[in-house]
A and B are shown apart, each in its own frame.
Chain A
Amino acid sequence: MDFVNAIILLLNYIFIPALTYGSQLALGAIFVTLIYGILRFANFATGDMMSFGTMATILFTWYFQSLGVSLGVLPTALLAIPFGIIFMIFYMLLIDKFVFKYYRNQKSPPVQFAMVSIGVMFVTQAVVRIIIGPGDRRFFDGEKFIIKAREFKEMTGLNEGLALKSTQVITIFVTIVLVSLLFWFLNRTKTGKSMKAYSDNEDLALLSGIDPKKIVLVTWVIAGILATIGGALYGLDKSFKPFTYFNNMLPIFAAAIVGGIGNPFGAFLGGYVIAFSEILLTYAYKKFFMYVLPESMEPNSLVQLLSTDYKFAVSFSILVIVLIYRPSGIFKGKVL
């Protein structure tokens, strides 16, 4: 019985939260990696673009709520996401037309692109804060829990409860669907394949008649979808605050690079690598050992490798180690 309790404990406090957080990071990381692979720059405006998409989703959610439209037990935000995506794509294309296109035509070095994306970051941050303000926004409605910890305890008679939030299930489900669609698109359709070709070798792709304008357009559309959904899921699960989204850029970058930048599948896995290592290394295992070990060997301390304050530092350290020893990432992306 103790053993089952220990497993439930780990599921509840490590596995499910890490899987959710990992999914949110993974979507952002694929966004970063696509921009890097096809448009060839590190986009420092990633976090703020995600917050822009989330903001659009929130505004539509409020609009639907004021109309009295809802999805019953599901959050209204799911209905608003498609509209948020349209807004996001529109904004991204606008930015591309007025900012990035010029440097693409000039064939500027990646560093210059990165600097320009910092300008975009400042502007986007200002736009989001001016429109919706810097405060904390919760826009979740509908049923909060699928299983409550207390109900689970009563059902199974165990000491440990397993709480399953509906946002967690939605996040994981949406991520699986979206990522499978994306990989089907990249690997099976003609446009997807030409995107891969363009990413591998630009000149050769142009020679074989691939239209670069179309590639750029499709990339921004996919990026818009990923940014909005990733941001909205994070906001539903936790809450929306422009500053946290800016900070999330850092673990997202870490996930993209750990997975091998330019490699979407690597980025997808990288999100989980970062999320799991953050949570595994900062969790206090005291209770777990109390269940597993005999009473005489019970630990006195918290059995915590690092305090939770260092959550971010963990993912950054992993990234630094990967950068030094395997700069192309765990799953081999573009070689530096």
Chain B
Amino acid sequence: MRKNLNVIAAYSIMMVLILMVGIFQSWNIALSIFNLCLISAVMTMGANIQWGYAGLINFGIMGYTALGGLAAVLISVDPVQEAWRAGGFDILMSLWLIVVMVLVIRFILKRFEKSKIRTYSIAAIIISGILLIRFSAEPGIEAIEAVDPAKTGFLGGFGLPIIFSWIVGALFAGGLAFIVGKVALGLRADYLAIATLLISEIVIAIIKHEDWLTRGVKNVIGLKRPAPYEVDLQTTDWFIKLVEKFNAGKLSVIENLADRQAALNQLVIEGSSVFVKLCYSGLFLVVVIILLILTQKALYSPWGRMMRAIRDNEEAANAMGKNVVKQHLLIFILGSAIVGIAGAMLVTQDGLFTPGSYRPMRYTFLIWVMVIVGGSGNNFGAILGGFVVWFLWIEAAPISLFLINFFTAGIPETNALKAHLIESVPYFRFLLMGLGLLFIMRYRPKGILPEKIEIK
């Protein structure tokens, strides 16, 4: 118990902060911060598995998040029958061509010795294949995008409950990580960082511009929900009764019957959105707890010990007969798959998929700040990092507004400098993140909750 004191203390402080937001700002804001903290925590767990367990640097988190989001769209949206009739055949043919191309390349790689001719012929196959696919898919893509472009213009998905997408998102992200890992994992750390960053940009470019699959920058809105809708809740009897019960004290003060009914209606509207957010919190909490148990088990298993050995001394681990390349690939896939789950969760919560919003600042670098600040190698630390950093990211603007007003209290409102500072309040969050990262790196390089290895 005593050795976990700092963990308990850190989490209690975090919870108190979120409760304070609930009391002083509103429960709606507090819960939306809490939900995104949970999603961030899942992302940091993924990044932490790669960086903390194995020392692999992955700056492509944004790409896996977006793939998770794509999974949410492809699973939950109803198929657009008309689009399938218009261009489905062409798309399937192109997919078939891609499969054939991959098989041919694999065959050549297996069958022939490494030589210049082999390299050139593979390059020729890839280039001609891409051209062929482009020309064969072109009419299909155009036909699909012409189907009611204001509403659909894409193939749609499978029309399944959106919750399944959390698993499929993990599979998508893991699949991409398999390809990326095969290609890039041999690189030295900082090259790996750059390569993964650029690959994630390529993924985003594809998601943004292949409208037939993702609707691109036109966004997909109104996704299905695993939670009830606010509008339905507001007309449900048991929910209104519940709200009445909760606020019985407040309502009984109001004498006038009409006024009481109006107040109750207001409370029901507020309560419905809090209730929906609570449903999401429950779902996300389940995911976080399951992942936490699994990752903790893995960390203290023989496999976890092997990963740490590989991280700390690759050559020695290799000499002991551990397959470093294979284990690196495995952990790269596992970590990315977890990030994929988070991506799907994020889109589930928002109810919309906006490819334009995936930017490396928010989805790659911020997650890295979370991992480093929280404590790499320690799952509790990584989750805490997700909470602390997301909380600051959201609350930085009000905090800095307060500070600016406090320090310039003597200066009149019309002062140009003060007005300028107040106008640029949203950008203080970058400053706060940067300074936080720099201070932690300098004075507490292992993070708030450092890695602790217990030998049992």
The answer for the CA separation of A149 and B184 in the assembled complex, in Å, is 46
Identify the closest chain B residue to A41 (Cβ): B190
Q: Please pick, from A41, A126, A246, A254, the residue contacting B428 in the complex, using a CB distance under 8 A.
A: A126
Identify the closest chain A residue to B368 (Cβ): A118
A112 contacts the other chain (CB 8 A): yes
User: Within 8 Å CB of A99, what residues of B?
Assistant: 438
User: Within 8 Å CB of A320, what residues of B?
Assistant: 183-184, 195, 198-199, 202
Q: Do A319 and B427 touch across chains, with their CB atoms under 8 A apart?
A: no
Identify the closest chain A residue to B366 (Cβ): A122
In whole Å, how far is A228's beta carbon from the nearest beta carbon of chain B? 21
Given A99-B438, A320-B183: A257 in contact with B428 (beta carbons within 8 A)? no
B301 contacts the other chain (CB 8 A): no
Q: Do B183 and A122 touch across chains, with their CB atoms under 8 A apart?
A: no
Identify the closest chain A residue to B371 (Cβ): A115
Q: Do B57 and A111 touch across chains, with their CB atoms under 8 A apart?
A: yes
Identify the closest chain A residue to B209 (Cβ): A309
In whole Å, how far is B404's beta carbon from the nearest beta carbon of chain A? 11
For window 295-336 of chain A, which residues contact chain B by CB distance below 8 Å?
A: 305, 307, 309-310, 312-313, 316-317, 319-320, 323-324, 327, 336
User: Within 8 Å CB of A310, what residues of B?
Assistant: 205, 209
Residue of A111, A115, A307, A324 with highest tally of chain B CB at under 10 A: A115
Residue of A109, A110, A134, A320 with highest tally of chain B CB at under 10 A: A320
Q: Please pick, from A111, A119, A127, A319, the residue contacting B198 in the complex, using a CB distance under 8 A.
A: A319
Q: Do B424 and A246 touch across chains, with their CB atoms under 8 A apart?
A: no
Q: Do A257 and B191 touch across chains, with their CB atoms under 8 A apart?
A: yes
Q: Do A122 and B199 touch across chains, with their CB atoms under 8 A apart?
A: no
Q: Do B187 and A336 touch across chains, with their CB atoms under 8 A apart?
A: yes
User: Within 8 Å CB of B427, what residues of A?
Assistant: 125-126, 129-130, 134
Identify the closest chain A residue to B198 (Cβ): A316
The answer for the CA separation of A129 and B427 in the assembled complex, in Å, is 6
Q: Do B438 and A123 touch across chains, with their CB atoms under 8 A apart?
A: yes
In whole Å, how far is A285's beta carbon from the nearest beta carbon of chain B? 14
For window 404-456 of chain B, which residues contact chain A by CB distance below 8 Å?
A: 421, 423-424, 427-435, 437-438, 441-442, 445
User: Within 8 Å CB of B372, what residues of A?
Assistant: 115
By secondary structure, the A interface counts as helix
Q: Please pick, from A42, A111, A119, A313, the residue contacting B201 in the complex, using a CB distance under 8 A.
A: A313
The answer for the CA separation of A127 and B434 in the assembled complex, in Å, is 11
A120 contacts the other chain (CB 8 A): yes
A185 contacts the other chain (CB 8 A): no
A250 contacts the other chain (CB 8 A): yes
For window 247-280 of chain A, which residues contact chain B by CB distance below 8 Å?
A: 250, 253-254, 257
A133 contacts the other chain (CB 8 A): yes
The answer for the CA separation of A115 and B194 in the assembled complex, in Å, is 12
Q: Do A250 and B197 touch across chains, with their CB atoms under 8 A apart?
A: yes
Q: Do B198 and A254 touch across chains, with their CB atoms under 8 A apart?
A: yes
Q: Do A122 and B365 touch across chains, with their CB atoms under 8 A apart?
A: yes
A102 contacts the other chain (CB 8 A): yes
In whole Å, how far is A109's beta carbon from the nearest beta carbon of chain B? 8
In whole Å, how far is B442's beta carbon from the nearest beta carbon of chain A? 6
For window 111-142 of chain A, which residues contact chain B by CB distance below 8 Å?
A: 111-112, 114-116, 118-127, 129-130, 133-134
In whole Å, how far is B283's beta carbon from the nearest beta carbon of chain A? 32
User: Within 8 Å CB of A125, what residues of B?
Assistant: 361, 427, 430, 434
User: Within 8 Å CB of B431, what residues of A?
Assistant: 122-123, 126-127, 130
B188 contacts the other chain (CB 8 A): yes
B208 contacts the other chain (CB 8 A): yes
B99 contacts the other chain (CB 8 A): no
Q: Do B442 and A102 touch across chains, with their CB atoms under 8 A apart?
A: yes
Given A127-B431, A130-B427, A134-B427: A121 in contact with B365 (beta carbons within 8 A)? yes
B92 contacts the other chain (CB 8 A): no
The answer for the CA separation of A115 and B198 in the assembled complex, in Å, is 17
Identify the closest chain A residue to B203 (Cβ): A313
Q: Please pick, from B183, B188, B369, the residue contacting A324 in the complex, using a CB distance under 8 A.
A: B183
Q: Do B199 and A120 touch across chains, with their CB atoms under 8 A apart?
A: no
In whole Å, how far is A323's beta carbon from the nearest beta carbon of chain B? 5
Q: Do B190 and A114 touch across chains, with their CB atoms under 8 A apart?
A: yes
User: Within 8 Å CB of A127, what residues of B?
Assistant: 431
B206 contacts the other chain (CB 8 A): yes
B193 contacts the other chain (CB 8 A): yes
B189 contacts the other chain (CB 8 A): yes
In whole Å, how far is B403's beta carbon from the nearest beta carbon of chain A? 13
The answer for the CA separation of A199 and B369 in the assembled complex, in Å, is 30
For window 121-141 of chain B, which residues contact chain A by CB distance below 8 Å?
A: 131
The answer for the CA separation of A77 and B132 in the assembled complex, in Å, is 49
Q: List 24 A-B contacts (CB under 8 A).
A: A114-B189, A115-B368, A115-B372, A116-B437, A116-B438, A118-B369, A120-B434, A120-B438, A122-B431, A122-B433, A124-B434, A125-B430, A125-B434, A126-B429, A126-B430, A126-B432, A129-B427, A130-B431, A133-B423, A134-B427, A253-B198, A254-B198, A320-B183, A336-B191
Report which B residues bind A (CB closer than 8 A): 57, 131, 183-184, 187-191, 193-195, 197-199, 201-202, 205-206, 208-209, 361, 365, 368-369, 372, 421, 423-424, 427-435, 437-438, 441-442, 445
Q: A110-B189, A115-B368, A122-B369 are in contact. List 19 more A-B contacts (CB 8 A).
A: A42-B193, A42-B194, A99-B438, A116-B437, A116-B441, A118-B369, A118-B437, A119-B438, A123-B430, A126-B429, A126-B434, A133-B424, A250-B197, A253-B198, A254-B198, A312-B201, A312-B205, A320-B198, A327-B187
Sorted nearest first, the 5 A-B pairs with minimum C-beta distance are A122-B434, A123-B434, A126-B431, A126-B430, A119-B437
